A and B are shown apart, each in its own frame.
Chain A
Amino acid sequence: MNILERKDIVEIWKGIVAGFIAKPPLHPEEYEIRLTSGTSGNEPILIVRRHEPLHWNALRRVQCSGSMGVRLQHLLNALVDEPDVPTRIWALDGSDIQEEMGPLMEDYAPDGIRGSCSMILRAAGHIPAKTRAAVSSAVFGGEQVTPALRQAAERAFPNAKLQTVYRAIEVGSISEEPCGHLPFGHNHPAAGFGMNVHDPDKQGVGDILVSVALSETTFIENYRTGDLGRAVTGPCVCGKEEVFEIVGRRGQDYVKLSGATLRREEWDRVADALRLYNDYRVEASKVVLNGKVQGKVLLRIFRRDGAGTEALAQEIADKVAKTAFVTPTRTYSELVATGLLAPLKVEFSTTPFLRGKKEVKIVEK
């Protein structure tokens, strides 16, 4: 089977964009342009995609996303789709999330909130309980929703139906809007998407491959999104037969965590630069403290010389935190100062780490 990887998609999109510029479509306003984040360590991709309508029945929406492109898409969904429906939207900016947002949100009275679970929970900390209780729909996308985050979301929005959607910017909305009958984390493929689970293990978990038209003239087959998932057997109550569940990220060469991105290559660089340990594993998790999401990172290290005192662990933690960049411009310790991350913790492993086929070094717990 010929599997398309990210680098293949980069080239395909360059061709589509060049075609758009050379010969604009009849209705260029129907196209939205955005750049993928490039946080996975790959070259960012410029996407020129025809506007995707969104069928979400929330009338007073709050959109939570760090990406301007994603926010714009949802703004246009509210302003353009279903012309007769009086949809309002507040595309939340990070700078909006502060104490004084509470009365404004009370006045706005949202009934639906959508986006990154971490950002939604950060906002929830500043929304009055009565206003949160009136939210009937919360839809999460853009990051894996761990059990801890889900529980926090259930507490924050006690009367909301919690659902997930699955999309990759470079190919669009892979899942259709939640039908309302599926368990949390399960979805139906969107119309036009072919989905396969490649090389599944005993639990049926394998690489998600998608086939879809990227433009009017370009169809891609078997693109590896980088996520792991499984096909769920049995038809849904809604009548649709295909159901899938996303369970994580392949290889986990990066983890997004509370405003930080832990990239394998950066942690490799730090290990090489400091030479304080011979091998390492990073375990990232999210915790909710006083209603705020905070990222926690445990760096497990192996030293061939067997040294492993508490003082040495602290020394290594300090040096790594000051050296490792977790955003394009900020180090781990700088994000600790903002409260987004907890102080780095270092633990010694007395035995070498097992090296699997994919040699996973960064995982989200």
Chain B
Amino acid sequence: MKAAQDIQSFVERVRAHDTEFYRDHWGTAQAFGELPPVSREDFRRVPLSKRRYKNGKAMVKVIRDANGPFLSEWAADDIREELYSVPSKRPMVYLSNAHESLEKGAWCRLNGMPSLVGEREPEVAAIEAERFRIDSLITDSTNLPKLRSYLEGRKEKLATISVLDTTFDIPTLRTFDAFAHTVRLVLALPEVGAFAESTPDAYPRFRVMPNCIVEQNGQALVTKLSDLVTPVIRYRFECAEPLECTV
């Protein structure tokens, strides 16, 4: 974990910012461990323009769940710093959510790779993957099975399949071990980015990514020590089953 001093100075920087979102939310709480957690409801309740902590080149995406939509903004520099996948020559992004797909397509570009985002229809995405001879895949639990036929038809294994999600069906994911040298399970939320990773064999043990803090004391909270457009500090998230997050 980052030195407590670094964490506290990050919190103070956010508190001192002109944008009032966190200052209002925290009230008089001072120490990191005492800060009231934030949740999707807080992001949904407060418009993006009132929780924007920096200006610059950015993409805006809609995040929607059963309780309604809200906007999340990601600066180009912040997208680049994420650890969604590992470098490869010809990656393809194929996620079930269009906004997430585009963001990860930009991530490829910003990390020195050509960018290919698969079209929605699996048959079309398979044509793209085949013709471009992709060597890695960035996907999620919903979309990965849609490419099974394509993967079964490949002569060589992919270098990596990165599965970005918050729930992982391990028995199903294990069946994809045959199609890649490495299957990465990446714990990620659209408004948070990636914050921990694992493999089907290590599940449910996750390694927390650098600059991230995961707290699990009755509720799961994630903090990213990065100056995001809307910083993520003690953000409450839900997982289908308890995870063992280690640094």
Contacts and interface: CB of A to CB of B under 8 A. Distances in A.
Partners in one complex: yes
Contacts, number: 136
Contact-size category for A: 35 or more
Interface string B45-60: 0011100000111111
Nearest to B94: A68
B61 interface: yes
Contacts of B58: 79, 86, 88-89
A239 interface: no
Interface stretch (B29-37, B65-73, B178-186, B196-204): B65-73
Contact of A104 (B70, B115, B132): B70
Given A80-B109, A86-B56, A72 B115 contact: yes
Interface in A119-170: none
Given A24-B89, A328-B121, A31 B114 contact: yes
A155 B76 CA distance: 34
Contacts of A316: none
B114 A32 contact: yes
Interface in A63-113: 67-69, 71-72, 75-76, 78-80, 83, 85-91, 93, 95-96, 100-101, 103-104, 107-109
A100 B69 contact: yes
A161 to B, nearest CB: 23
A46 interface: yes
A218 to B, nearest CB: 17
A93 B98 contact: yes
Contact-size category for B: 35 or more
A81 to B, nearest CB: 9
Interface string B97-110: 01101100110111
A104 to B, nearest CB: 5
A83 B76 CA distance: 10
B71 A75 contact: no
Nearest to B49: A107
B167 interface: no
Interface of B: 47-49, 55-62, 64, 68-71, 73, 76, 79, 89-90, 98-99, 101-102, 105-106, 108-121, 124, 127-128, 131-133
Q: Closest 6 CB pairs between A and B? A: A33-B116, A93-B98, A107-B47, A79-B76, A90-B60, A46-B131
19 contacts: A17-B132, A29-B112, A33-B114, A34-B128, A35-B119, A46-B131, A67-B119, A68-B118, A71-B98, A79-B57, A88-B57, A88-B60, A89-B58, A89-B60, A90-B61, A90-B62, A95-B64, A95-B98, A107-B47
